[in-house]
Each structure stands twice: as structure tokens, then as C-alpha cells.
Amino acid sequence: MSIFTKLSNGWTLSMNSLKVLKENKQLIIFPVLSGISMILIIGSFVIALLASAGWDIEYINDENTAWNYVIGFLFYLVNYFIVAFFNTALIQCTRDYFNGEQPSVKKGLQFAWSRVGAIFSWSLFAATIGFGLKLLQENLGTVGKIITGIIGIVWSIATFFVVPIIAYENLGPIQAFKRSTQIMKEKWGESLGANFSFGLLRFLGLILCVPLLALAAFINPILGIILFALAVFFVLAVSSAAQIIFISAVYHNLNGDPVKNFNEKFAENLFQAKK
């Protein structure tokens, strides 16, 4: 299958994911809650860091390095946990939908809470990797940025299926990473069509937000900034929810589970095994 066919299939799957989201608009609440939680967490970390430095920004930059590292790692840990928690809840809701049941936000959150131990274990593992890459990037200069950038791309591909794996398979973080890598290696072939498609959708959505900013700013600059920020937040929330729906559909398809109202043929083609 050519790269153009794979990209075309990725686009079709992206559109199908958006269709599922359109039919279950309540599912967008999960990336919204995740985003709001992250904003609150970032605010609390900034306040705590400033308070510990006596509200002196220069002191944060120059002193108390060990404490800054601790704060930085904790931020990574909380970040990964929040994203994984709400994505797990969304994964469960999509599973209910694919099984012909009515998705429930409450049931999704309850399921995610039932998997909180596995989610935390994975978040701790991922935060260690992520923060380690950040330290390398800061201390190895330009070469470090290139190396960690490549590793980051490989990491994002290798962990593509981690959320449904930690949700439904009784595996530790390292085993979940290996399992996700195995699925990608066996089923994805050379295709990056889906990620490209969602990236393109995000880009087009953000481009459409610019005229809104210009129009509102002409009337009222503050209003323009607020509307632009809300529009960007909405675009990111929609694309994030649709991508998790896509991951859920393909994961269940690969495991032989029913995928109601989703194009299973395209899922099989896009993630076909290497010859």
C-alpha cells in the first residue's frame, strides 16, 4: 500500500472519528476537563514556585536548582496523570459506544478511577522519561536538542496505544510500552497517515481562528484575545477527543472487538501488518 493511500485512509479514519464525536458531543468534556485541570495545575505550580523564591523571578532562575528539579518532575508527573486519566475515561466511553451502548461521562470517570493505580504507574514512568529528556536537552546544547527531538518522536509513536493498554490489559508501565511498540511494529507498517491528518486538522482549525482574533481585536482587544483563546482551546479539545476515538477504534479492531459505526475496513488497511 503506497504512502498516499495510507494518508488517504488516515484522513478517512479522522473524519470517521469526528463523526463519532459529533454523534456523542458529550465526549468533548474529557479533553475540556483535562485542559482546565492543566491550567489550574500550571497556575498552582507557578504560584508555589514564586512563593518558595520569595516572589523573586531571578532567584528562581539562579538559585535552589534542586528544588526546581523536584517541582519540574512533579509537574511532568501531574501532567501525564491528568491527560492519561481523562483519556482513559474517554476510551471507556468510546468502547461503550462501539458496543452499541449509550456513553456516559459518569461511567467513564468511574472506570478511569478504577484504573487509577495503573494510570499513576504509567504516569510515573512517562514523567521520568519526559523529564530525563528535558534535562538532556538543557545540558547537551544543539546536539542534545536534535537527539532528544528524535527520541521524542520515536517515543510518541511507540506509546501510541498505551492508554487503551493500561485501561484494559493488566500490564505494568514497561510491559505496556513494549506491548504498544509491538502493536505498532506489527500492524502499522510505514504509515503515519492518522497523525498527519489530525495535525492537519489542528492546523486548519487554528488558521480559521486568526480572522476571529483580528475581527474581535478591532472591536475590543481584550475581547479578541479571550475569543481567540477560547477558539484555540475548542479546536485542540475537538482534535484531541477525535484522536482518542481513533486510537480506541483501531485498538479494539486489532483485538477483534466490535467497532460499531466505524469504518473497520479502513482501520484494517491502515494498520495492516508488514509484508
- pLDDT tens for each residue of 90-114: 999 998 888 888 888 999 999 999 9
Query: Cell 474529557 appears where?
Result: 30
CA angle 256, 245, 164 (to 5 degrees): 60
Residue 76 phi, psi (nearest 5):
-60, -45
CA angle 252, 205, 84 (to 5 degrees): 40
pLDDT of residue 55: 62
pLDDT of residue 44: 75
Q: Are 100 and 91 in contact (CB under 8 A)?
A: no
For residue 126, name the pLDDT band (cuts at 50, 70, 90).
Answer: very high
pLDDT of residue 93: 92
The yes-or-no verdict on residue 67 having pLDDT over 80 is no
Higher-confidence residue of 14 and 230: namely 230
In the predicted model, what is the mean pLDDT of residues 46-68? Answer: 62
Whole-angstrom Cα distance, residue 226 to residue 1? 45
Q: What residues contact residue 163 under an 8 Å CB cut-off, 6+ apart?
A: 84, 87, 88, 91, 244, 247
Percent residues over pLDDT 90 in the chain: 19
Q: What residues contact residue 209 under an 8 Å CB cut-off, 6+ apart?
A: 228, 231, 232, 235
Least confident of 74-83, 164-173, 182-191, 205-214: 182-191
- Torsion (CA) 34, 32, 88, 80 in degrees, nearest 10: -20
User: Domain limits of the chain?
Assistant: 3-270
User: Residue 129's Cα: distance from chain center in Å?
Assistant: 16
Query: Cell 469526528 appears where?
Result: 18
What are 181-219's pLDDT values in tens digits? Answer: 887 776 554 345 566 667 777 777 778 777 776 776 677
Whole-angstrom Cα distance, residue 249 to residue 268? 11
Q: Are 110 and 76 in contact (CB under 8 A)?
A: no
In the predicted model, what is the mean pLDDT of residues 228-249? Answer: 85
The yes-or-no verdict on residue 174 having pLDDT over 70 is yes
Quick one: which of 82, 70, 87 has its CA closest to 41? 82
In the predicted model, what is the mean pLDDT of residues 139-166? Answer: 83
Whole-angstrom Cα distance, residue 262 to residue 246? 9
For residue 261, name the pLDDT band (cuts at 50, 70, 90).
Answer: low
CA atoms within 13 A on the CB side of 77: 12
What are 4-46's pLDDT values in tens digits? Answer: 665 666 667 777 788 888 888 888 899 898 888 888 887 777 7
Exposed, middle or buried, 245 (CB in 10 Å: 0-12/13-18/19+)? buried
pLDDT of residue 273: 45
Quick one: which of 67, 33, 34, 35 has its CA closest to 49? 67
pLDDT of residue 69: 79
Higher-confidence residue of 232 and 128: namely 128
In the predicted model, what is the mean pLDDT of residues 58-72? Answer: 65
CA atoms within 13 A on the CB side of 38: 18
pLDDT of residue 122: 95
Computed over every residue of the chain, the mean pLDDT equals 78
Q: Are 24 and 103 in contact (CB under 8 A)?
A: yes
pLDDT of residue 54: 61
